[in-house]
Amino acid sequence: MSTVGELRLEGLALEVGCMNCQQHGFYDPASLSYPDDMPVDDIAAGLTCKQCGFANKPGTVMVWAQATKHRVTEFPLSFIEKQTIGN
């Protein structure tokens, strides 16, 4: 299991998506306010989709987050979301 700090240290992107509306994006973990020791798997619990407004509830996870093997520098700057993801 990866942590936010491991992604930051390795320069890897965080992938986030919504199964309700199919919104999808990559985030630079350096721009996020989550603590370094937070497991990436725990990020999804409080997420809300910015496009359709779907919010995860206990037992229902439609907005997901996962570690990637892609370096943040592999993406065009406009492709990486710089704002804080909603929770």
pLDDT of 12 higher than 90: yes
Whether 13 and 75 have beta carbons less than 8 Å apart is answered as yes
- For the cut 80, the answer to whether the pLDDT of residue 44 exceeds it is yes
Please tell me the predicted confidence (pLDDT) of residue 84: 44
What's the confidence (pLDDT) of residue 77? 55
Question: For the chain, what is the mean pLDDT?
Answer: 83
Domain boundaries, the chain: 4-81
Buried residues in 52-83 as b, exposed as e (16+ CB within 10 A): eebebeeeeebbbbebbeeebeeeeeeebbee
Report the C-alpha gap between 15 and 50 in whole angstroms.
14
Please say if the pLDDT value at position 74 is more than 90: no
Which DSSP category does 86 fall into? P
Q: What is the pLDDT of residue 48?
A: 86
Token pair listed for 66: 């996962």
Question: Taking 90 as the threshold, does the pLDDT of residue 6 lie above it?
Answer: yes
Q: What is the pLDDT of residue 40?
A: 92
CA distance 76 to 33: 22
